[in-house]
Copies of this chain bind each other. A is one copy, B any other.
Amino acid sequence: MDDLKIAQQCAETMLANDRSSQAMGISIEIVEPGKAIARMRVRDDMLNGFAVIHGGLTFALADTAFAFACNSYDQQSFAAAAQIEFLRPAVATDVLTATASEDYRGRRNGYYTVEVRNQRDELVALFRGRSASNSKPVIQS
């Protein structure tokens, strides 16, 4: 099985049991190992008291892209830390695309950047995450 196939199968295994991403309506695309794209449409029940998206949900979208990117090598990885800069608000019906790419991958830790953009390709948030891996496989035999 080639690397892209492995990465895509990791994503399928994760998605099958990922009730939280499903509940948020997030879709995932794996384009290469270490890279993942997550998409979400901003719903009314994602808005806070100021009628913009709850920052926690923008983070959750970015975090999802990050999780699928760092788990694409068939080695279980978890978010150890993350940082987000909120650059622009998003409102109901906006479609947000989070693109995660790998900055550096060491033996135990990986470092990823995620850009979250709206349907006008404007940068909504800039996210960085550190993952920590154990030695278990993602794909169940």
Interface residues of A (CB under 8 A from B): 13-23, 44-51, 53-57, 59-64, 67, 76, 78-87, 89, 103-104, 106, 111, 113, 123, 126, 128, 130
- For the complex of A and B, the 4 pairs showing the least CB-CB separation, nearest first, are A56-B60, A20-B54, A14-B49, A56-B63
Q: CB distance B59 to A63 under 8 Å? A: yes
Q: CB distance B82 to A104 under 8 Å? A: no
State the majority secondary structure of interface residues on A: mixed
Q: A67-B48, A82-B83, A104-B126 are in contact. Are A21 and B54 (CB under 8 A)?
A: yes
Most chain B CB within a 10 A radius of its CB, from A51, A54, A61, A79: A54
Complex-state Cα separation, A17 to B68, whole angstroms: 33
Cβ 8 A contact of A78, one of B15, B46, B50, B82: B50
Q: CB distance B81 to A49 under 8 Å? A: no
Complex-state Cα separation, A50 to B20, whole angstroms: 11
When C-beta atoms are compared, the residue in chain B nearest to A129 turns out to be B55
Q: A44-B19, A83-B83 are in contact. Are A63 and B67 (CB under 8 A)?
A: no
Q: A57-B56, A59-B59, A60-B56 are in contact. Are A51 and B85 (CB under 8 A)?
A: no
Residue numbers in B under 8 Å from A103 (CB-CB): 113, 126
Q: CB distance B81 to A81 under 8 Å? A: yes
Q: CB distance A56 to B20 under 8 Å? A: yes
Residue numbers in B under 8 Å from A123 (CB-CB): 104
